[in-house]
């Protein structure tokens, strides 16, 4: 039998989600106190982070966490990340080895998630039935303040319908989950705009990145003092393939993913996304009004325009700016009703692996 509170690959029907009046809260002392009380009472609150907005619930309350899956339409096989505000809380959630503790001290608060053996305090619904848990300490000051105010670890995946483009503003959250949740804490646009780096640190002899983000394998290895297996497209494809094929497993084997962000199709707009190393001039010249061209950097003035809408992620080639604008731009083009988005991959750089991972998953149609 699966562990209590874990439902395998089943996702809760959206029809079970209650209709709510969704209110956006500013960062006042009164609002923080109210939102902290709601979290303690088992309610959901959408929260800002430096990566993307999250949908938070008390990570130690299985019933509260079940509401996350309900509101998002998220499969129970996709685990949640637990957020803490003080490194002293880590021992309540996970068993961290020497290297994991060193990495936490170096990169927290910040966009690094560590996958570690879990403690009994963490419900199985949070971990997709596995004996490991993903943990991080966010850097956003309002999220940290709310974590401290409620005194609880908070489970929080991205605050959007499952599989859709991640939200990087309070308005994005309301557009996707309005009517399904009652509270959004507005912390402005996200600083990074991409989800955290996830590092598998269950075995400290085999550290490996499961999801690329703003913190690189080289940065992690320098602090850890040992090799860190970097994220590669081939490892992503292998993980995604395993996710698509239901495995024949015994009742003793875990049923879910080891970490979020592993599915082949994710971060996906309704429009079809077609990726290019560079958008060909011939394609641009013959493009149709139903298409949009999303360049990585602003194209030269003499680039053919055709009939498609034309946009770019950065005017100067700045990868941090491109990452920050990526999800917002995909949402904007999707909302405009374009049927096809031709998108350039990021050239080699500090965030290219993370940006291209999100684009690859957004382009998948199954």
Binding positions are 51, 74, 83, 136, 156, 158, 166, 196, 211, 267
Contacts of 47 (CB under 8 A, 6+ apart): 53, 54, 55, 56, 140, 142, 143, 146, 154, 156, 159, 185, 187
Binding positions for L-threonine are 51, 83, 136, 156
User: How remote is the C-alpha of 241 from its chain's centroid?
Assistant: 20
Dihedral class, residue 319 (left if φ above 0, else alpha if ψ from -120 to 50, else beta)? alpha
**Per-residue DSSP letter, 346:** P
Contacts of 346 (CB under 8 A, 6+ apart): 296, 319, 322, 352, 355, 356, 359
Check: CB of residue 181 under 8 Å from CB of residue 22. Answer: yes
**Per-residue DSSP letter, 75:** B
Q: In 3D, which of 239, 267, 86 has the Cα closest to residue 160?
A: 267
Binding positions for ATP are 74, 158, 166, 196, 211, 267
């Amino acid at each position: 039998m699966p562990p209590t509170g874990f439902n395998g690959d089943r996702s809760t029907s959206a029809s079970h989600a209650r209709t709510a009046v969704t209110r956006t809260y500013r960062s006042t002392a009164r609002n923080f106190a109210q939102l902290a009380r709601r979290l303690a009472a088992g309610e959901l609150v959408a929260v800002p982070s430096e990566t993307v907005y999250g949908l938070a619930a008390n990570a130690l309350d299985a019933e509260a966490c079940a509401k996350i899956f309900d509101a998002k339409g998220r499969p129970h096989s996709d685990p949640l990340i637990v957020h803490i505000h003080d490194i002293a809380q880590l021992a309540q959630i996970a068993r961290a080895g020497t290297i994991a503790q060193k990495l936490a001290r170096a990169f927290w608060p910040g966009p690094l998630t560590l996958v570690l053996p879990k403690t009994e305090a963490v419900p199985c619904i949070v971990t997709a039935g596995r004996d490991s848990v993903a943990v991080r300490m966010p850097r956003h000051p309002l999220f940290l303040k709310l974590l401290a105010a409620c005194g609880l670890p908070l489970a929080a995946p991205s605050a959007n319908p499952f599989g859709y483009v991640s939200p990087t503003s309070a308005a994005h959250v309301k557009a996707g989950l309005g009517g399904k949740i009652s509270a959004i804490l507005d912390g402005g646009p996200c600083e990074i705009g991409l989800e955290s780096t996830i590092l598998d640190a269950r075995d400290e002899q085999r550290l490996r990145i499961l999801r690329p983000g703003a913190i690189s394998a080289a940065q992690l290895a320098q602090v850890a003092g040992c090799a860190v297996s970097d994220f590669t497209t081939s490892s992503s494809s292998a993980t995604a393939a395993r996710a698509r094929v239901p495995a024949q497993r015994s009742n003793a084997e875990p049923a879910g993913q080891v970490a979020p962000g592993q599915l082949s199709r994710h971060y996906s707009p309704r429009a079809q996304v077609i990726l290019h190393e560079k958008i060909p001039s011939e394609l641009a010249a013959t493009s149709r009004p139903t298409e949009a061209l999303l360049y990585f950097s602003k194209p030269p003035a003499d680039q053919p325009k055709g009939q498609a809408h034309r946009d770019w992620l950065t005017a100067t080639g700045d990868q941090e700016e491109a990452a920050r604008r990526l999800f917002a731009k995909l949402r904007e083009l999707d909302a405009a009703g374009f049927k096809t988005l031709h998108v350039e991959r990021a050239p080699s750089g500090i965030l290219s692996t993370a940006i291209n991972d999100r684009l690859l998953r957004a382009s998948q149609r199954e």
